[in-house]
Amino acid sequence: MKKKICILGSTGSIGKTTLQILSENKKDFEVVLLSGNSNVDLLISQAKKFKPIYIYYNNFYFKDKIQSFCKKNKINFIDNLKSINKIKFDITVSAISGIAGLIPTLDIIKYSKKILIANKESIICGWSFILKQLKKYNCKFIPIDSEHFSILNLIKNLNRNSIDKIYLTASGGPFFNKEINLNNVTINQAINHPVWNMGKKISVDSANLMNKILEIIEASLLFNFPIKKFSIAIHPKSLVHAIVQNNNGLSFLAYHEPDMKIPIFNSLYDELNNKKFFKNNFFYKNKKENKLLFFKPDFKKYPALQVLDIANKYGKNGIIMINVFNELLVNQFLSKKIFFSDIVRKLLLIMQSNRIKKYLKINKIKHINDVFKTYNFCKGILNW
């Protein structure tokens, strides 16, 4: 029997990589639900190729176009995941970017036997709610952010008490070895990642190291270790994704080509036999080619490192705020309202203000609505 697949965010970078794997393995998988947002033409061409049963789409602007396409092609159009009926997806891939992925992720768990989550923002903002849903609907979970997928595999046979430090590697982004005035950085320069080809938001986050800060917060939630257990190693070739250092002097590294196909493929196939055989090329072409270099990140170059201390101090609602302010500031940069260097500068300034401290003292996260209350509060502060 073919596995039934649902993809939230099929028109994005993770969504497209997933579809590429599925199209190479048609005998094992059947695409049942696709979803997108602004890239309507791509969504339509994906639907023509994969013939899903459902398209989930809730962007007001292009709704009519998608709806009439669905009608013509006998595809069920849904703008609310709660209206799915009597279906269980074998595997869902949650790959919407930003906090917009949180509610769809929570809703889709009900209909999924297994969920692969790429969307780190929803984990940061709603992990306790996601966890509850996973238990309630007996849904298996695999993180597919490459560092987290690596950590999961590295620690599964280790004694937790022997783990001294977990390093997440970072390429260092496009400005790692460059002397550049960060005020003058253009959008294209910021999203021109040296190794990975990803969506705009995560590419900007990678350029100032905020992606790694968010990933440490994500890892601390997923693996239930304090933030202090994690560190960052700059590793420009992005071949090693995580390092687990034990207190007996042994460190374990997870190595794979910098290609999201590896975590996605292995997570799709974790309970199936597959014949695919990926190879790693450890050998250097010449003596100058240093593949395995690791550097400590420099606080001057990456002021975002200070955000970790704040995350450590402020707890659950504080990390939601960090995620939300960052997301809103990245959007402001992408719409040319602020400089690239303003993203982290403003984030640090706001997070250390008395107004935020006061809000965090009074407001705790008990219900999913509290997450969106914080979201609206942050929006209000930035518009002020």
Q: Name the residues that contact ligand NDP, by CB under 6 A.
A: 9-15, 36-39, 95-97, 100, 118-121, 145, 196, 198-200, 202, 260
Find the DSSP H helices in 137-209. Answer: 146-155, 187-191, 200-207
The arrangement of strands across the sheet holding 251-255 comes to 230-234, 163-170, 240-246, 251-255
Residue with smaller CB distance to ligand NDP, 120 or 235: 120
CB of 145 to Mg ion, least distance (A): 4
Length of the chain: 384
Per-residue contact string for residues 143-162; x = within reach of Mg ion by CB under 5 A? --xxx---------------
By CB under 5 A, tell whether 205 contacts Mg ion: no
The arrangement of strands across the sheet holding 91-94 comes to 76-78, 54-56, 29-35, 3-8, 91-94, 114-117, 140-143
CB of 229 to Mg ion, least distance (A): 18
Q: CA separation (Å) from 334 to 42, 178, 197, 326, 373?
A: 22, 22, 17, 12, 24
CB of 274 to ligand NDP, least distance (A): 22
Residue with smaller CB distance to ligand NDP, 232 or 360: 232
- Residue with nearest beta carbon to ligand NDP: 12
Residue with smaller CB distance to ligand NDP, 199 or 236: 199
Question: What SS3 class is residue 346?
Answer: helix
Residue with smaller CB distance to ligand NDP, 174 or 199: 199
Residues 6+ apart with CB under 8 A from 300: none
Residue with smaller CB distance to Mg ion, 4 or 201: 201
CB of 223 to ligand NDP, least distance (A): 16
Q: Which residues pair with 31 in a beta bridge?
A: 5
Q: Are 97 and 326 in contact (CB under 8 A)?
A: no
Binds 221, which of Mg ion, ligand NDP, none (CB < 5 to 8 A, cut-off by type)?
Answer: none
Distance CA 75, CA 330 (A): 35
CB of 368 to Mg ion, least distance (A): 25
Residues making contact with Mg ion (CB under 5 A): 145-147
